[in-house]
Chains A and B, each alone.
Chain A
Amino acid sequence: MENFSLILAIVVITALAFDFTNGFHDTANAMATTISTGALKPKVAVAMSAVLNLVGAFLSVEVANTISKGLVNEDGIQPEVIFAALVGAILWNLLTWLVGLPSSSSHALMGGLIGATVASAGLGAVHGDVLVTKVLIPAIAAPIVAGLAAMLATRLTYRLGKHTGEKSSAKGYRAGQIASAGLVSLAHGTNDAQKTMGIITLALVTGGAIAPASDPPVWVILSAGLAIALGTYLGGWRIIRTMGKGLTDLQPQQGFAAQTSAATVILASSHIGFSLSTTHSVSGAVMGAGLGRKGGVVRWSTATRMFVAWGLTLPAAALVAALAEYLTSFGSWGTGVVAVFLVASSAAIWLASRRQVVDHTNVNDAEEPAGVVTTAMAVVTPPPAGVTDDLVAAAPTPAPEVPTDQPTTSATV
């Protein structure tokens, strides 16, 4: 760690910030159905998920060792490129969190890497066919596979369990949901915490701090595991609400079928070698479970918004990352501008989220009124001049007055 330059330190911190947003974003995958069906209390659910994520982070370093291989040419990647990629991924994660839409953190990260690489090395450095096989097809296949499995399983469990007593079925489905949600959490920890470890290791290698082809150092594993666990524990309640309540109304039977399907799809796909996104699998499974119950409905307007977000994830993160990479190419001040922009926009998004607080107390309430996307988009798109204002407003006082132009909100700031 002798050659630990400033840019390398910035990359490591940004990577940990991404890891945090990743945990924050993906708590919903493991716990949304468990929370919305009441199998676990919200706080207990996120705590359990956080612990399992942390455990998962220590289980192996296989994913970390293969990260980013194949999608872009690693030669010539500078720490600045990784930094720009992370900026794109973090901002997209925060924006989708604000509007409460589940989207793939992995796609955001890949989009960021692609955008930053294109900006620094040109279009030729991206392997287009890998993009199709590793991103596009899995994104379409995951919800279909998980949805179909969950739908059939839901039908089956309703048919078989028609005459069960209330007490045994309540207890049984509760245990079943907790077990399958635990598996998803563990799988998430091994996968996503390791992605960050891989990114940090890659940055350390390109920055010359550690030898090429090294395993992630212990402090990297520890900090990445802690960052994702902390994010998971704080819980992306907005996304949990969309997944658990927004897409469809889930009963315990459906929650169990959905979560089992998601866990199976995730494990089967990563084992067979056709990796599918956790987010896409779980969303598909929830919708399938919604369709599987007689009289169950899927709210297609919410689902459509989610699909649009999926489609935008990669290009949006890529665009932001490309811009960030363009700025960093001007040297240290460019990197500084990007860092300030990242902090300012994150603060702005957080402030915007305070207008309509979603936390463990109201996570199971009905879905937000329509039009929140447009409002939120308008709020978080800061005009260039407003960036510094946001920063000033956010930096010195932890709880500044938020201008509430919506009289209905009674947000406790």
Chain B
Amino acid sequence: MHIDWAALGSVFGVSLIVTVALVGLFTLGIVGLSKREAASAQGDSATLAVTGAYACFAACAAAVTYGIYLIVA
């Protein structure tokens, strides 16, 4: 019997890292947007936080696109 431990291990590692990274990035994006919410309440603009937030969301969107590519290919 041949069990592909290497494949199982990489599924384990990749899933763990990608999930945590994606959820982390996405949460950071939400944090950034929420800074704008707070800032606009005081009349500021919080440009840095908003730019960071959109960068995070863009990275997540890229990951989703790669996911769709994996499904199609």
- A→B interface (CB under 8 Å): 56, 59-60, 129, 132-133, 137, 141, 145-146, 148-150, 152-154, 156-157, 160-161, 163-165, 167-169, 172-173, 176, 179-180, 183, 186-187, 190, 256-257, 260-261, 263-265, 267-274, 276
Partner pick for B23 among A260, A268, A273, CB 8 A cutoff: A260
Judge whether B1 and A132 touch: CB under 8 Å.
yes
- A172→B34 CA distance, assembly (Å): 10
Partner pick for A190 among B36, B37, B71, CB 8 A cutoff: B71
Judge whether A145 and B11 touch: CB under 8 Å.
yes
- A39→B22 CA distance, assembly (Å): 19
Judge whether B64 and A273 touch: CB under 8 Å.
no
Give every chain A residue within 8 A of B48 (Cβ-Cβ).
none
Known: A261-B19, A272-B10. 20 other contacts (CB 8 A): A132-B3, A141-B8, A145-B11, A149-B19, A152-B16, A153-B22, A160-B24, A161-B30, A163-B31, A165-B37, A167-B34, A168-B34, A180-B64, A256-B26, A260-B19, A264-B22, A267-B70, A269-B15, A273-B7, A274-B7
The total number of A-B Cβ pairs within 8 Å is 130
> Per-position contact with A for B17-59: 1 when CB-CB < 8 Å, else 0?
0111011101111110110111000000000000000000000
Give every chain B residue within 8 A of A56 (Cβ-Cβ).
71
Judge whether A59 and B23 touch: CB under 8 Å.
no
Partner pick for B20 among A153, A163, A187, A274, CB 8 A cutoff: A153
- A265→B17 CA distance, assembly (Å): 11
Judge whether A145 and B15 touch: CB under 8 Å.
yes
Chain B residue at minimal CB-CB distance from A265 = B15
Give every chain B residue within 8 A of A137 (Cβ-Cβ).
3, 8
Chain B residue at minimal CB-CB distance from A62 = B73
Give every chain B residue within 8 A of A146 (Cβ-Cβ).
15
Judge whether B24 and A157 touch: CB under 8 Å.
yes
Q: Main SS of the interface on chain A? A: helix
Partner pick for A273 among B4, B22, B24, B72, CB 8 A cutoff: B4
Judge whether A186 and B34 touch: CB under 8 Å.
no
Decide: A165 near B38, CB < 8 A? Known: A145-B16, A261-B19: yes
Give every chain B residue within 8 A of A163 (Cβ-Cβ).
31, 34
Chain A residue at minimal CB-CB distance from B66 = A267
Q: Which 3 A-B pairs have the closest CB atoms?
A: A153-B23, A172-B30, A149-B19
Give every chain B residue within 8 A of A180 (Cβ-Cβ).
64
Judge whether A133 and B10 touch: CB under 8 Å.
no
**What would 24 A/B residue contacts be, using CB atoms closer than 8 Å?**
A137-B3, A141-B8, A149-B19, A153-B23, A156-B20, A157-B23, A164-B30, A164-B31, A168-B34, A168-B36, A169-B34, A172-B30, A180-B64, A183-B67, A183-B71, A186-B71, A256-B26, A260-B23, A264-B14, A264-B19, A267-B71, A269-B15, A273-B4, A273-B7
Judge whether B72 and A168 touch: CB under 8 Å.
no
Chain A residue at minimal CB-CB distance from B28 = A160
> A247 CB to closest chain B CB, in angstroms?
18
